[in-house]
Structure 1
Amino acid sequence: MSNRRNNEFLSIKDVMENVLGENKLQKGIDLVLIKEAWSEVMGSGVVSYTTDVQFRNGILTVKLNSSVLREELSYGKEKIVKLLNEKLNKMLIKSVKLN
């Protein structure tokens, strides 16, 4: 009876975390949020050269169709990680790989 009573008072956050974890939806949600953050943080100029954004094991892989832009952004990878994580409000991204 005690366990049942405790379960009645789970927060919505706890329930959502359980649902997301059990259904493995969190990875997909994180990717959507990261793509939105990429667009907002980097702006339309960089986004127009972005062909793909993938996220796996803390590594954000961004494909760009401009070698000049790729080279320019490679100097600011740490800052990009910091800005994206700040936008996401959590430390999801450990590093950025530009292709």
Structure 2
Amino acid sequence: MPKRHNEHISIKDALKEFVEANNLEKGLDKVNVADAWKKLMGNGVNNYTTAINLQRDTLHIQLSSSVLREELSYGKQKIINMLNEELGKDIIKKLILR
């Protein structure tokens, strides 16, 4: 358990310190990636998205529409760039559509 600081710190800094101390960044990245996908892709794509899974630096997206999967496969790099920009860091290196 980390020592208590006597000086006042903001909630943001305290939470950041807690996340780093307990190695929770990977779990938060998974949640943030799923939220970013839903936000950026909109309702049309989200209706056909059945699973979102981040493993290391690879994002696995499961879609129920083969036509949509084929259409999205043409813009994989653009999707990766949009998601990384939304997240503010380079988390995703590869996108697999299933």
Structure 2: any 5+ residue segments left out of the alignment? none
Considering only CA atoms, is the larger Rg found in Structure 1 or Structure 2? 1
User: Aligned residue for 2:86?
Assistant: 87
Post-superposition, which runs of at least 4 consecutive aligned residues in structure 1 deviate over 4 A? Answer: 11-18
SS in 2 for 1:93: coil
| Aligned counterparts of 1:86 and 1:75: Cα–Cα separation in 2 | 19
**Aligned residue in 2 for 1:56:** 55
Deviation string 1:28-82 (CA, Å, 9 cap, x unpaired) is 2111111110011111100000000000110000000000000110010000000
Q: Which runs of 5+ in 1 are unaligned?
A: none
Aligned residues: 94
Summarize the alignment of residues 1-99 of structure 1 with structure 2, pairs less than 5 Å apart.
16-17=15-16, 19-99=18-98
**Cα RMSD over matched residues?**
2.2
For residues 74 and 44 of structure 2, the distance between their equivalents in structure 1, rounded to whole angstroms, comes to 17
Secondary structure (helix, strand or coil) at the match of 2:26 reads: helix
- The one-letter code matched in structure 2 to 1:36 is D
> How far did residue 26 of structure 1 move?
1.5
Under a length normalisation based on structure 2, what TM-score does the superposition of the two structures give?
0.81
Aligned-pair identity in percent equals 44
How far apart are the structure 1 equivalents of 2:33 and 2:25? 12
